[in-house]
Amino acid sequence: MTKPVLKLVTPIAETDAVTTRTMPRRPPNAELRSREYLTPSEVNQLMDAAKNDRYGLRNATMLLVCYRHGLRASEVCGLQWSQIGFDEARMHVVRVKKGTPSTHPIMADELRMLRRLRRENPHSAYVFLTERKGPFSTVGFAFMVSRAGERAGLPFKIHPHMLRHAAGYALANKGVDTRSLQSYLGHRNINHTVRYSELAANRFETFWK
């Protein structure tokens, strides 16, 4: 049985209407919001809104921990109970992006919320669990933060990294020196920390006194 002779055929160029269509442009951050951080009062609004959710304790605790310790989304999602020292009221913070690890104190209100959360999930390795009892994804956390911002009535769209920036500006306004703030946030390069001190409002408090 003879095999049919095959020959090369020049492919016909086809234009994909989907790829050639102009995709909607994502507006730059400056068009979405006037700043990339939250004030302490806005963080409180965010937490109050989160408390009214179905998983209010988990959501409010997650927001508070992220803010108090200046955590990135992946750091708070990956937080494990082995990093929490209840007796010493200390948190062993592990940073991503080659950041410097550190040990942070845990404030009393935060400690109470973590204890309650631990009683609800006594056998889990991760601190913050989804409804399916698995660790949070950064996408899931971003959705939760955005939804809490909408419920809080904040005038701009919220994303998780605004909580880390909020910690930096809040501590700079409290007078925390730049070197200490660098260690607290785990910045390897101090230039990433200087911006918080440069925009701290307390730098100008005595100008007209």
Higher pLDDT, 72 or 23: 72
Distance between CA 168 and CA 196 in Å, rounded? 6
**Four-residue CA torsion sign, 151, 127, 101, 171:** positive
| Digit-coded pLDDT (tens) for 26-42 | 555 555 556 788 999 99
Residue 158 domain-assigned (yes or no): yes
Q: Is 67 a catalytic residue?
A: no
| Digit-coded pLDDT (tens) for 74-89 | 999 999 999 999 999 9
CATH number at residue 64: 1.10.443.10
Q: Is 37 a catalytic residue?
A: no
Domain count, the chain: 1
Residue 48: the pLDDT is 96
For residue 11, is pLDDT > 90? Answer: no
Residue 1 domain-assigned (yes or no): no
Q: Is 165 a catalytic residue?
A: no
* Range name among 74-88, 126-140, 184-198 with the lowest pLDDT average: 184-198
Residue 29 domain-assigned (yes or no): no
Q: Which of 58, 68, 72, 165 is catalytic?
A: 72
Q: Which of 35, 97, 116, 203 is catalytic?
A: 97
Q: Please identify which residue in the block is written with the tokens 């007209």.
A: 208
User: What is the DSSP secondary-structure string of the chain?
Assistant: -PPPPP---PPPP---HHHHSPPPPPPPHHHH-S-SS--HHHHHHHHHHHHTSTTHHHHHHHHHHHHHTT--HHHHHT-BGGGEETTTTEEEE--STTPPPEEEE--HHHHHHHHHHHHHSTT-SBSSB-TTSSBPPHHHHHHHHHHHHHHHT-SS---THHHHHHHHHHHHHTT--HHHHHHHHT-SSTHHHHHHHHT-GGGGTTTT-
Domain limits for position 158: 36-201
| Digit-coded pLDDT (tens) for 61-119 | 999 999 999 999 999 999 999 999 999 999 999 999 888 999 999 999 999 999 999 99
Q: Is 157 a catalytic residue?
A: no
Q: Is 169 a catalytic residue?
A: no
Residue 51: the pLDDT is 92
Residue 11 domain-assigned (yes or no): no
Residue 180 domain-assigned (yes or no): yes
Residue 7 domain-assigned (yes or no): no
Q: Is 196 a catalytic residue?
A: yes
Q: Which of 164, 165, 169, 184 is catalytic?
A: 164
Residue 171 domain-assigned (yes or no): yes
Residue 38: the pLDDT is 94
Residue 40: the pLDDT is 94
Distance between CA 60 and CA 197 in Å, rounded? 28
Q: What value does the CA radius of gyration of the chain take, rounded to a whole number of Å?
A: 23
